Amino acid sequence: MPDVSYDGQTVSVNDEGFFTDPSQWTEDMVPQIAKAEGIDHLTDRHWQVIRFMRQEYQAKGTGPSVRALAKTSGVPVKELYQLFPKGPAKLAAKIAGIPKPRGCI
């Protein structure tokens, strides 16, 4: 399992770059992870979504689907795709240091 460094700390990630231990994540790491994913500038809306992803993960043990994300974060789906191109549920999960959404099989 490769190790990477964010904000001067070593964290372990899987081969897709998702945190294998979400507790290693801190908010200070977010700008670097986001930049590595092609998001150079983080707005308040980005932060709203990222914090919400962490909350959901802590409460339910898994990140939310795009629909749940839109309903509760207050950010509509179209905007989610503008903030996190290619797939908010997956990209925002990676930046928030939580596992990617997955099914039962």
Partner 1 sequence: MGPGGPQVEAIKRIVILGGGTGGTIAANRLHRAFGAGDAEIIVVDQDDDHVYQPGLLFVPFGHADPGRLVRSRRRQLHAGIGFRQAGIDHVNLAADRVRLDDGTELGYDVLVIATGARLLPEETEGLTGPGWMKNVFTFYTLAGATALRSALDRFDGGRLVVNVIDMPIKCPVAPLEFCFLADRYFLRRRIRSRVELSYVTPLDGAFTRPVCSRELSGLLAGRGIELITQFNTGTVRDGALVSYDDRQVPFDLAVVVPVHGGAAYVDRSAGLGDELGFIPVDRQTLQAKAKPNIFAIGDATDAPTSKAGSVAHFEGEALVGRIRAYLADQPLTAAFDGHTNCFIETGGGKALLIDFNYDTEPLTGHYPASVGLPLLRESRLNHLGKLAFGQLYWHSLLPGRDLPGIGAAMPRRGKKGLPART
Query: Which residues are marked as active site?
Result: 104
Position 81 contacts partner 1 (CB under 8 A): yes
Binding flags for partner 1, 4-43, as an x/- string (CB under 8 A): ----------------------------------------
Position 103 contacts partner 1 (CB under 8 A): yes
Name the strand (E) or helix (H) holding 4: strand 3-6
Q: Give the range of 2-10, 26-34, 41-49, 63-71 binding partner 1 by CB under 8 A.
A: 63-71
Nearer to partner 1, 33 or 80 (CB): 80
Position 71 contacts partner 1 (CB under 8 A): yes
Q: How far apart are CA 3 and CA 13, in angstroms?
A: 6
Q: If you write DSSP's letter for every residue of 53-96 in order, what string do you get?
A: HHHHHHHHSSPPPHHHHHHHHS--HHHHHHHSTT-HHHHHHHHT
Q: Which amino acid is at 96?
A: A
Q: Which residue has the tokens 């399992």?
A: 1
Which of 9, 17, 61, 97 touches partner 1 by CB under 8 A? 61
Which of 20, 86, 92, 98 touches partner 1 by CB under 8 A? 86
Phi-psi region of 29 (alpha: psi -120 to 50; beta: other; left: phi over 0): alpha
